């Protein structure tokens, strides 16, 4: 089950019922649709005005990550195995498989909607074109904690488990831009501010830096 909340009243305004556990959910960029990924190998798209289900997407494995493109016409999905695909949300058709090498742990459209950022469990982080799946940029990092800035210009990732550092790379060319040190334990989360000018990191010992 997923709940949609009214932030002004603090009350639940929609109850989105699923028969299996919800693994991820995502608002469309235009705010008209909520996508919920479930462990029963399906994604349901819900209308935010009525709260009713609009369409279902059916895959071959449980979906674990979702990302709408900026125009809300397509949804990128990553499954529990290795498949990352692009779906047309109007026809419920799978248009292209973009990755099929390793499980994806981070997934996000670039701001213009023509490229997709993905970080894989094997350490490969790359940007690919959504029309032809062509690899535009790739780099390898010893990390499963990876994040793309909202502007699409920077990729941040933790270093090896024993160096407690966070590095930033240019998302266009894959060049290492800066290394940030200061944590005394493994960094577990990275998030950029909405304008991409600052970043917050969290470590295993509870330290938060920004």
CATH class of 143-210: mainly beta
pTM for the model stands at 0.81
Inform me whether the pLDDT recorded for 75 exceeds 90: yes
Considering only 2-6, 88-92, 93-97, 111-115, which range has the smallest mean pLDDT? 2-6
| β-sheet bridge partners, residue 116 | 109, 128
User: For the segment 120-154, what is each residue's pLDDT rounded down to a tens digit?
Assistant: 888 888 898 988 888 888 888 777 688 899 999 99
Kindly report the length of the chain: 210
Residue ranges per structural domain of the chain = 1-140, 143-210
Considering only 40-54, 76-90, 159-173, which range has the smallest mean pLDDT? 159-173
CATH class of 1-140: mainly beta
How many CB atoms neighbour CB 84 within 10 A?
25
Question: What would the mean pLDDT of 64-81 be, rounded to a whole number?
Answer: 92
The answer to whether the beta carbons of residues 109 and 78 sit under 8 Å apart is: no
């Amino acid at each position: 089950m997923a709940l949609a909340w009214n932030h002004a009243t603090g009350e639940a305004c929609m109850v989105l019922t699923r028969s299996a556990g919800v693994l991820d959910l995502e608002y469309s960029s235009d705010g008209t649709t909520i996508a919920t990924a479930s462990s029963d190998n399906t994604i349901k798209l819900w209308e935010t005005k009525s709260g009713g289900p609009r369409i279902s997407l059916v895959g071959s494995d449980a979906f674990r990550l979702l990302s709408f493109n900026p125009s809300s016409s397509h949804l990128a999905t990553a499954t529990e195995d290795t498949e990352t695909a692009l779906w047309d949300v109007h026809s419920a058709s799978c248009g292209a498989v973009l990755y099929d090498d390793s499980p994806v742990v981070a997934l996000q459209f670039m701001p213009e909607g023509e490229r997709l950022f993905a970080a894989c469990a094997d350490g490969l982080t790359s940007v690919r074109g959504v029309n032809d799946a062509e690899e535009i940029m790739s780099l390898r990092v010893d990390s499963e904690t990876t994040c793309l800035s909202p502007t699409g210009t920077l990729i941040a990732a933790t270093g090896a488990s024993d160096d407690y550092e966070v590095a930033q790379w240019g998302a266009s060319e894959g060049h290492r831009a800066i290394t940030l040190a200061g944590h005394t334990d493994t960094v577990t989360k990275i998030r950029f501010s909405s304008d991409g000018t600052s970043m917050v990191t969290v470590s295993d010992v509870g330290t938060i830096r920004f």
